[in-house]
Amino acid sequence: MSSLRSHDDTWDIATSVGTTAVMVAAARAAETERDDALIRDPYAKMLVEGAGEGMWTQMLDEKVVERAAAIDPEIAAIFEHMRSYQAVRTHFFDEHFTKAAAAGIRQVVILASGLDSRAYRLNWPDGTTVFEIDQPKVLEYKAATLAASDVKPRATLHQVPIDLRQDWPKALRDNDFDPTQPTAWLAEGLLMYLPADAQDLLFERLTGLSARGSRIAVETVGVTSEERRARMQARFEKVAAELGFEREFNVSELMYNDPDRADVTDWLNAHGWRATAVSSQDEMARVGRAVELADADDEAFATFVTAGRS
């Protein structure tokens, strides 16, 4: 259970869960600068820079892994893994939407969209509508920042400002979502911020809105033992202190480390979907971004699940 969360907490781009959206965007910005980049996000850096100074600043520091390695090589490897993981995750889910579009799906919903810029950077077919659901202040920040640079979406974009713990299906329908049309859904960087019962409710509601031919892609949650969490946290704290990183809070305390959480693949297969999963480690290896970790815990790694509804 998270010690920094409550059932009705809210956030903007610089507080609580909102800060993780900036850190993910920073990882995309760093990836975009690589010569061998898996993804290109030309808007990530401007979204990060507009958020001011924070923990995400370290994600843009090209020397952070090198500096960390002098203190704790394993933590440096984890930093490198985290950066590569974000790139691989983004690449995997970009392909999900590319395949959905090729199959004729023209309705897209990005749950807890944060600073996701896919509505602006992917080449959507004519007639595509993208719905972004997130906290009002997060969506306001993204829209205002991109508009200030005259960045326009490449599809019809509906921002749906609502907390996913509220009646988001009604809010989605009120924003012209059509439940009779097939939809391509994405739940990326989301489930770890929901307790187990909220995860079940999310997928129940999503299934109720999914016509035949709909598709979904999900990043699942790994489960880490409390002993290992504490051990790794102590090592991170040591490295952060020596590098002079200022952290307002421990990001892991925003997450729900729930061992009783339903297995997403099993849940979807039991509720009218045909789901398959690939481990994030296998996907990283497939695209040439595997990072060897000496103190690895297979149960802590996420999996990427894709499913279709017939």
> 290-304: per-residue pLDDT in tens?
887 766 655 667 899
Specify whether the CB–CB gap between 89 and 304 falls below 8 A: yes
pLDDT tens digits for 8-48? 555 455 555 557 888 889 889 989 999 999 999 999 999 99
What is the Cα–Cα distance from 171 to 195, expressed in whole angstroms? Answer: 22
H-assigned helices in 73-177: 73-102, 118-121, 136-148, 168-174
Chain mean position to CA 214: 20
What is the Cα–Cα distance from 132 to 185, expressed in whole angstroms? Answer: 10
Looking at residue 262, the DSSP 8-state letter turns out to be P
Per-residue pLDDT for 211 more than 70? yes
Domain ranges of the chain: 17-309
Q: What Rg value do the Cα atoms of the chain yield, rounded?
A: 19
Amino acid letter for position 78: I
What is the Cα–Cα distance from 177 to 169, expressed in whole angstroms? Answer: 9
Amino acid letter for position 144: A
What is the model's pLDDT at position 217? 98
At the fourth CATH level, the homologous superfamily of domain 17-309 is Vaccinia Virus protein VP39 (3.40.50.150)
Specify whether the CB–CB gap between 186 and 111 falls below 8 A: yes
Amino acid letter for position 237: E
What is the model's pLDDT at position 11? 47
Residue 234, classified by CB atoms within 10 Å of its CB into exposed (0-12), middle (13-18) or buried (19+), is: exposed
The two tokens of residue 227 are 């002993």
What is the model's pLDDT at position 1? 41
The two tokens of residue 299 are 């149960």
pLDDT tens digits for 234-284? 666 666 666 666 655 555 666 677 778 899 999 999 999 999 999 999 999
**Nearest CA-CA partner of 132 in 121, 117, 144:** 117
Per-residue pLDDT for 113 more than 50? yes
**Distances, alpha carbon 250 to alpha carbons 10, 68, 202, 230, 293, in Å:** 17, 18, 26, 12, 22
Rounded to two decimals, the pTM is 0.86
206 vs 26 pLDDT, higher one: 206
Per-residue pLDDT for 231 more than 80? no
**How many other CB atoms sit within 10 Å of the CB of residue 310?**
8
* pLDDT grade for 125, boundaries at 50, 70 and 90: very high
**Nearest CA-CA partner of 309 in 268, 277, 274:** 274
**Nearest CA-CA partner of 72 in 230, 242, 212, 203:** 242
The average pLDDT across 81-92 equals 91
Per-residue pLDDT for 99 more than 70? yes
Amino acid letter for position 137: K
Q: Which helix (H) or strand (E) holds 68?
A: helix 64-69
Please provide the average confidence, as pLDDT, over all residues in the chain.
85
What is the model's pLDDT at position 2? 44
Show the CA angle centred on residue 284, arms to residues 16 and 78, nearest 5°.
50
H-assigned helices in 103-167: 118-121, 136-148
**Distances, alpha carbon 145 to alpha carbons 42, 44, 63, 182, in Å:** 13, 11, 28, 31
